[in-house]
Amino acid sequence: MGRILVTGGSGYIGSHTVVALLEAGYEVVSIDDHSRSHDFIMDRIKQITGTEVVNHRINLVDRATLEDFFCNEHTGITGVIHFAAYKAVGESVANPLLYFENNLVGQINLMRCVDQYNIPHFVFSSSCTVYGNPESLPVTESSPLLEPESPYGRTKLIGEAFLRDWVLVCPTRVAALRYFNPVGAHPSALIGEFSRGVPENLLPYITQTAAGIRERLTIYGRDYPTRDGTCVRDYLHVCDVALAHVAALKHLERHTDAPPFDVFNLGSGVGQTVLEMVQAFEEVTGTPLTYTFGERRTGDVVAVYADNRKAREQLGWSTLYSLQDMLRTAWAWEQALSQSHNTRQ
């Protein structure tokens, strides 16, 4: 098995993927500057897997330090999984340059090093945001890519385009994974999502409301053209997202004749409304939730869910965790956070 470099290995999806890689028998080295994550995550990963992973505290924008890292550490690295990026939509609207620099300059610096050391496989974190407000559902990988709703979305669209052009002139082969809405936490409740300040995303807002940290959830909009008037999204468990990265790496390793750049939707294939999520949370956890309806949130798409056939057929991946698992593990994680308040930020 190869040695895999994970950028953003202490982040939400990154940490779950490090666990999945170790459990699949890969050796892992991580780069994470901890600007949006915590340094104790590698200890938590060790508690789960029994394996120590070294994290190098490097910001990808710092090209000289990144080059030093590759110079010293490239031996044996057969693949890179690139998570390290900022992802808060609202913050990206307020500070586009921060997003362009961190997400795109960081990616270019990483691609340079991958190029220099001829690392054969690269997996990229993309997002269903590239489909915008789709005209027909479910979206397939060949659905039209639309003008992004935020600078964050633009960095994902441009990030994919960079890779698409780059593979034409380098031996590296790339899989870009378009995530729909990853939620939940590792069943151990040792790793999960840390929300900075007031959460933007639905699930952390729900669990923080249930925990009494927020007074009430505001459901953005009740007059959308959907079955109950609230927006539809495709939620999937973060551990399933992690397993898809292992599957994508194996696909790149085994299918040397596969396209040098390929994209895969990572979704459950099922759309849930916001109200359905709220009701399912109450049922699964037995915890009532205080909520009200508010105005529509700017930039929200009405409905999006994945056609995930390509990932199922070509990567041999399918979701293992149910909606109930997503909600149960998200709630267990929230309760674990409440018990160790030094970890909440």
Residues with catalytic function:
152
Dihedral angle at the C-alpha atoms of 251, 252, 254, 258, nearest 10 degrees? 90
Unique residue bearing structure tokens 């990572």: 266
Give the span between the Cα atoms of 201 and 214, in whole angstroms.
13
Q: Which is nearer to ligand UFG, 117 or 291 (CB)?
A: 291
Stretch that binds ligand UFG, among 8-16, 63-71, 214-222, 309-317 (CB under 6 A): 214-222
The helices-and-strands tally (H runs, E runs) of the chain is: 12, 13
| Nearest CA-CA partner of 12 in 153, 265, 185 | 185
Interaction mask 118-157, ligand UFG, x per CB under 6 A = ---------xxx----------------------xx----
Q: Is 80 in the site for ligand UFG (CB under 6 A)?
A: no
Q: Which is nearer to ligand UFG, 28 or 219 (CB)?
A: 219
Q: Alpha helix (H) ranges present in the chain?
A: 12-23, 41-49, 63-73, 89-94, 96-99, 106-116, 151-166, 202-210, 238-254, 274-285, 309-315, 323-339
Q: Tell which one of 274, 311, 326, 337 touches ligand UFG (CB under 6 A).
A: 274
Q: Is 205 in the site for ligand UFG (CB under 6 A)?
A: yes
Ramachandran bin of 58, using left for φ above 0, alpha for ψ from -120 to 50, beta for the remaining angles: beta
Q: Is 233 in the site for ligand UFG (CB under 6 A)?
A: yes
State the residue number with the nearest CB to ligand UFG.
231
Stretch that binds ligand UFG, among 31-39, 198-206, 281-289, 328-336 (CB under 6 A): 198-206
Cβ of residue 149: shortest distance to ligand UFG, in angstroms?
Answer: 7
Q: Is 102 in the site for ligand UFG (CB under 6 A)?
A: no
What is the CA angle 148-153-154, rounded to 5?
70
Q: Which is nearer to ligand UFG, 205 or 331 (CB)?
A: 205
Dihedral angle at the C-alpha atoms of 28, 263, 61, 113, nearest 10 degrees? 60
Q: Which is nearer to ligand UFG, 79 or 267 (CB)?
A: 267
Give the span between the Cα atoms of 73 and 65, in whole angstroms.
12
Q: Tell which one of 141, 301, 307, 310 touches ligand UFG (CB under 6 A).
A: 301
Stretch that binds ligand UFG, among 21-29, 48-56, 200-208, 280-288 (CB under 6 A): 200-208
Q: Is 65 in the site for ligand UFG (CB under 6 A)?
A: no
Cβ of residue 7: shortest distance to ligand UFG, in angstroms?
Answer: 17
Q: Tell which one of 42, 60, 219, 323 touches ligand UFG (CB under 6 A).
A: 219
Task: Please check whether residue 324 is in contact with residue 184, taking contact to mean a CB–CB distance below 8 angstroms.
Answer: no
Give the span between the Cα atoms of 37 and 287, in whole angstroms.
28
Ramachandran bin of 141, using left for φ above 0, alpha for ψ from -120 to 50, beta for the remaining angles: alpha
- Number of residues this chain uses to bind ligand UFG (CB under 6 A): 22
Residue 220 β-bridge partners: 294
Cβ of residue 30: shortest distance to ligand UFG, in angstroms?
Answer: 22
End-to-end CA distance of the chain: 37
Give the span between the Cα atoms of 28 and 10, in whole angstroms.
12
Cβ of residue 121: shortest distance to ligand UFG, in angstroms?
Answer: 24
Q: Tell which one of 87, 121, 245, 251 touches ligand UFG (CB under 6 A).
A: 87
> What is the binding site for ligand UFG (CB under 6 A)?
87, 89, 127-129, 152-153, 181, 200-202, 205, 217-220, 231, 233, 274, 297, 300-301
